[in-house]
Chain A
Amino acid sequence: RKEVEQDPGPFNVPEGATVAFNCTYSNSASQSFFWYRQDCRKEPKLLMSVYSSGNEDGRFTAQLNRASQYISLLIRDSKLSDSATYLCVVNIGRGSTLGRLYFGRGTQLTVWP
């Protein structure tokens, strides 16, 4: 069973474009949600957490739909430096909230000049 599913892409967009990534998760007990960014052969780095009410950080907007078990990330005004793989990550906390992180396979984004 795939806990977290993402469209692998690749997405190839010009600078300035708006791009949206989607993700679904299977475990309704999931407690917290994140988007991480991973550059080629590097470690995952937290881009933003995803809260129930939705949240925005500059050009990035994240949305969560618990009923549909769906998470999204919108990137506006894409920059060359946004080129990376975007990982949808879910934390299924187990009481102590030490819960392991479940990663999607990632969506690859390339922004071209």
Chain B
Amino acid sequence: EPEVTQTPSHQVTQMGQEVILRCVPISNHLYFYWYRQILGQKVEFLVSFYNNEISEKSEIFDDQFSVERPDGSNFTLKIRSTKLEDSAMYFCASRPGTGRYTEAFFGQGTRLTVV
């Protein structure tokens, strides 16, 4: 069964360092997302991406964040200068189409710990 894969599963980084979280969406999907979940809190939307550009971003997704689809398969989230409060589980998701009930498939997540 096709799945969204994320690497690494766990990343520890020092405050102020740049991190890149990687995702390989399901191959025929067209819509891509990043969500995050701080421990004990709800899953929060960060950004959606379609046709090689950002479709929507939340207030969390400030200038420190960027996304890229550098080739036909990878979808990355970069945090330029990490802060302690960026520590969270980051989930990538993808959808094949635009139907209201089209399922979003989530990757297993990258746990980011900023120390």
Contacts and interface: CB of A to CB of B under 8 A. Distances in A.
A71 to B, nearest CB: 14
A101 B34 CA distance: 11
A59 interface: no
Interface string A80-111: 00000001000101101111111111100000
Interface residues of B, number: 26
B18 interface: no
A91 to B, nearest CB: 7
A45 B109 CA distance: 12
Nearest to A89: B43
B55 A98 contact: yes
Interface residues of A, number: 26
Contacts of A41: 89, 111
B108 A103 contact: no
A68 B6 CA distance: 38
Nearest to A44: B106
A43 B99 contact: no
B103 interface: yes
B106 A43 contact: yes
A1 interface: no
Contacts of B94: none
Interface in A16-57: 31-32, 38, 41-46, 49, 51
B103 A94 contact: no
Contact of A105 (B41, B45, B56, B106): B41
Interface in B24-43: 31, 33, 35, 41-43
Interface of B: 31, 33, 35, 41-45, 48, 50, 55-56, 58, 89, 91, 98-101, 103-104, 106-109, 111
